[in-house]
Structure 1
């Protein structure tokens, strides 16, 4: 038998071994399935037993009796007798739940009357339900945002259409303007002058018709403000001249001599000479100056608009005080001033309207020249001891008036000729008794102030002569009140 088995062909033995392996694998698979099913059943049974058993004694609880199912405040289930023993074994402060370690006492134990308790695991269902609700809320928010964006797109489309229409209208108007300005006689944009790279540096611009130049304000630093000259003929920017310590509010050029009048919020009003290229006059003010202008009625008069809504007129021949003070009918600063002159009635030479026109932040006002003259508070009384007699200004007129007063008693030496030296001698003798003869008297403080004032006026008169003005003959002369 054994010999026969030795002569079995190899192919048959291989087929048999393969079939055996297949059958063995089938048996192993079936065994594994049965093992898994048994393990699943045992695990389910274990879970069921754990769910229906007391976590303290691990024995199933009952629906009645001492081991009846009971619960604590936290919701965990135990056998009644087991949890009572557990809680009584410790003090009331140290008694805790065996599952969650929450504080519990005997009074918190509640019996539960139920025949059979079965717990279903729905945690996955609750999580899915929560995700569904969140997705629904997200979709609702998306729908709301979609509706809002649709409204915004409609509004934006409407605005886009209106802007496109405006652009087309502006293009048509630009074409019309280009056609109108195609002639060479019309004004055209010529050149650009770069004064400073800082956009806030240059704010004020003034034109000088004599030199055909522009003057623009410029600031180098927060405490250095001045002007720059721009030559229109050569298209060049000139040197910088410092005028004020704070921002310049207004600049005006004198049409007669080209001098520059400037004002600033540093409470000063200055005149810059166009000949000497230096500051000649500086007038201190009590308030910040917002505007200024020259008077075309009288070239020696200047106006200053202040921040307290007042207009002050100064005469540059006598800068001891202002000549006229006018109100601007408001409480806001006066930002613009201009003098209106030479408005005649037809061919007549009589001026029917001359005055100062100004504007504040909320009103426009006008004061004519008569009002300016009426408010003039300057009155001078000359000292006859230091000034020539009035007759020397017009001798013939003075002699005629004296003859009319006393035709037979006039003590003139000749009707055609007057002895000036003898007349001066006579007046010296008359005024000799009026003078003070005491020599040892010290000067008072008021007298010293008067002398200082006379000295300053003489310096101002010299400056005016350099600038091309003709100063008053009273500058540098001592004044006194006239006594009746």
Structure 2
């Protein structure tokens, strides 16, 4: 600026711009301010950028190695756990083999020791057991299964199959397989989204690799426990509440529908049911049992026993008359809420709760009601029948019982040695699983069921040992003789 000023003052009115050579005075000059300029060392900048790139590369490699190290540590921990589980299983199986080789007395003693270890840390499951020749049930294992509502046991392969529903970000319907052999490995199988809430579940009694279940989405599905896939699915006209396998042929299956009908399926025919029989009422069929073939039935006839709130019905498929028959007197006991069947002896036990009074009239032969506390149950009854032939059932005994006011409870008949039969059901008043001798209905044993609602109960005989499964809340208890 000082140079420009001196240049213009020397020439006074004749001053010219040193840039464009036009006339100008000092008033025409405008000062432009800019930031300070710094000379940059290009070589240093290049070196800095190179070093920064190398540092970033080293940091990335370090992070990758840290992830790999954490992954290998996790794999190592899993392998250690797997090895320990295999060691435990080997020890358990070796002990079992040794026990069986040394005779029954040693086997019973070792089994008692194993059960004592299994129930450590849990509340003891046997509250009361009548002394006698028949073996009592002891708590063998408790398994936490969140969202479980149904299960079945594959005795041949020592596997539990459990239907579960998990809520959260979208409802998930899952089948869980759990091994009955320590360390009780489990596997979750996510079912297709087309399958809704599972209403009934049964493993094939002749082929443990197949399971049958029905859902509220109006379908009946055949599931392979080997491939963990639904291999066959039937569309139904109405929702199925129950299903079962035929006890005389492994190819046939049955489903009881919401409209009171019963369908028969042949897995060799994939299009649909081979028989669709309408019921005498439109009450939903909540239980279906295939009956063992009797000599009194014509060849090829398949007999099925069903239960609805209206009573018990027998269906004869492939017979001359396929109209269902109401078993006499079963409709007069009240509202039928459950049905258990023992194929080996043809014993049947149906549970009832009182009918709702209409116009101040009470149905005949109903147990008198007593004041109830909400959630404590209501006074109902258990009635034992015995199958005597085609469309013939004899009433053997009955007893009063505290039953659920709302739910359709599960029950089972246990076939023990020396032709002793036990009826297993939930006693709502005492909140426990009660085993009663048949036909007297005298209490044989009481089992603690954790005070939660009973969701499912199954009995099976595996490797000479009676296994009783009880699903209460999210806890599955396994009792053994």
TM-score range, shorter chain: 0.3 to 0.5
Larger helix percent: 1
TM-score by length of 2: 0.36
Larger strand percent: 2
TM-score by length of 1: 0.36
Higher relative contact order (CA 8 A, sep 6+): 2
